[in-house]
Chains A and B, each alone.
Chain A
Amino acid sequence: MEKVNTNPISRSSRTSPSVGMVSKTSTLIVRMTGILVFILIWDLTARLSGWSVHVFPRPMIVAKSIGELIASGVLFKHTIASLFRVTVGFYLAVIFGIPLGIILGRAKRIHLLIGPIIQLLRPISPLAWIPLAMLWFGIGDPPAIFLIFLSSFFPLVVSIAVASRSINPVYFQVAANFNFARVEVFTKIILPAIVPAVATALRISITIAWVVVVAAEMIAVQSGLGYLILDSRNALRMDYVMAGMIVIGVIGLLLDIVIKRLGEIDSAKWGSSHS
């Protein structure tokens, strides 16, 4: 409790405490070993299964296919298409979800009014909306964007409502004590207080959105990584299917890393290290 941190937490010391003793290079080595072992097991299983390479392709074949897809520009085109849909759907969810979450968290009556509706719609998988989405928005980008919007909207609303509701009341008393205007209570208390929760919520919902985009692209569009997988299945090219899966995994990981950085800005740090 009385330990004094004289250095502000520097941007270079981002490693989590559990790996604090392990140097950066050896962490990397361990991680790479894990992936290599996984590829090795994959290769062995594929060889020992006795199945044809068309049913269970080996890592080297998939790597070659990824190379082909990159070289022909197909992979790039589909990735951009998927990222575009996720970005639009996710932004829409953020634009509507964060304000609604704050309102639900801070206004008791509105919470009583709208809360049950949200709770009722939330457990419905976005995939259940597919028939309606296609009927309402036709084919092309709109239904896919709508599904992505749904998938990230509800988790965002709910976690931001919870975060806004559980802001320590002391901060509001400080605000009243220093004669804060209403706007100041919003900009100087509510918004900064929920920043750590928003960062976490964004991270969770972008992951869900990325999971859903693939499913959405299997129904109504002619592009995107989901379409690539579906199309490759129809052509019985399991190596392309696996290539698509790997790219989805890698991009999902990158999205997570980007969003994770949001939670590491200094003024949001108190959320994880305090209390």
Chain B
Amino acid sequence: MDEQMGQIEIQNIGKHYLNNRKSPRSSQDHDVLQGGKIDVLNNIDLEMDDGDMTCFLGPSGCGKTTLLRIIAGFEKPTKGNVYINSKPVTHPDASCIFVFQQSGLLPWMTVKENVGLGVRKLKSDEEKNSRIQEYLEIVELEGFEEHYPHQLSGGMRRRAELARALVINPGMLIMDEPFTGLDFMTHMKMREEVVNMHEYFKKTTIVVTHDIDDALIMGDRIVIFSERPSTIKFDKKIDFPRPRNFERHPELNKLRSELYFMLGVPYAV
């Protein structure tokens, strides 16, 4: 298997949508009339190193997901360019797998068939099956090969999707709010698994989240976006050793208070 790299360069990205709504989407754009432009992203410059896990934080509707979709090639920016390993992104590709917010598993395929999507072009069935099995074991879904997604719990569905993303050995992973809709304990366990997975595979990973704690526990780097039109408000490398713990690292706790303050909830901690 050739080694996939995942070095990302985002140059001066801007994006606006045309406003098709008759009523404003939020209080922010009362002044934008129908047919007018809504600026979502404004001159975003970012560089991400190979193997880093970067967490994007920001108020809802600020354009984090839009930026992710541009990086993954699902949408075109109005201006600027994204380069992955110095090549401009023009369309979605299996070298950069997107893990969807709800479930991106295909409901008419079993867990095995879903995970097998990434290796469907391998010639030998034996190799295919052993790869699928290997990754199902990593996410602890052995025995659920023949289950359909609707027969799995929310957490298991996320793990199956993670296995499907990893089996292809992509250069990078993009996760859009991967823990939304999970109950508290499942959320914690999934977060731990994603961190372990990252420690093990060292894939370049971007995680969009609205949970400050998730970002602090998981990220090698945290990027905070402002309200629309989005600009980068905060950008910091975090090199505490993992597993991280707020009690063990007082500085992490301090950073947490700062971030809460920055996002407008100073008394939350």
Contacts and interface: CB of A to CB of B under 8 A. Distances in A.
A173 B107 contact: no
Contacts of B148: 8, 266-267, 269-270
A192 B155 contact: no
A270 B150 CA distance: 6
A182 interface: no
B108 A2 contact: no
Contacts of B206: none
A272 to B, nearest CB: 10
Contacts of B92: 173, 176-177, 179
A176 B91 contact: yes
Given A177-B92, A268-B108, A4 B153 contact: yes
B94 interface: yes
A274 B168 CA distance: 27
Interface in A171-192: 171, 173-174, 176-179, 188-189, 192
B156 interface: yes
Contacts of A177: 72, 92-94, 96-98
B74 A176 contact: yes
Contacts of A270: 107-108, 148-150
A170 B93 contact: no
Contacts, number: 78
A270 B96 CA distance: 28
Nearest to A192: B108
Nearest to A179: B94
Contacts of A3: 153
Consensus secondary structure, chain B interface: loop
Contacts of B186: 2
B96 to A, nearest CB: 8
A193 B108 contact: yes
Interface string A1-34: 1111100110000000000000000000000000
Contacts of A195: 108
A49 interface: no
Contact of A9 (B100, B151, B152, B154): B151
A183 to B, nearest CB: 13
Contacts of B129: none
B153 A1 contact: yes
A273 interface: yes
Interface in B68-117: 72-74, 91-94, 96-98, 100, 102, 104, 106-109, 117
Contact of A2 (B94, B106, B154): B154
Given A179-B93, A179-B94, A274 B150 contact: yes
Contacts of A171: 104, 106
B104 A170 contact: yes
A189 B150 contact: no
Nearest to A2: B153
A269 B107 CA distance: 9
Interface string A45-67: 00000000000000000000000
B183 A2 contact: yes
Nearest to B146: A8
21 contacts: A1-B154, A2-B154, A3-B153, A8-B148, A170-B104, A173-B74, A173-B92, A173-B100, A174-B104, A174-B106, A174-B117, A176-B74, A176-B92, A179-B92, A179-B94, A188-B109, A192-B106, A267-B108, A270-B107, A270-B149, A273-B150
Interface of A: 1-5, 8-9, 170-171, 173-174, 176-179, 188-189, 192-193, 195, 266-270, 273-274
Given A2-B154, A176-B91, A270-B108, 9 more contacts: A4-B156, A173-B92, A177-B72, A177-B92, A177-B97, A177-B98, A179-B94, A266-B148, A267-B108
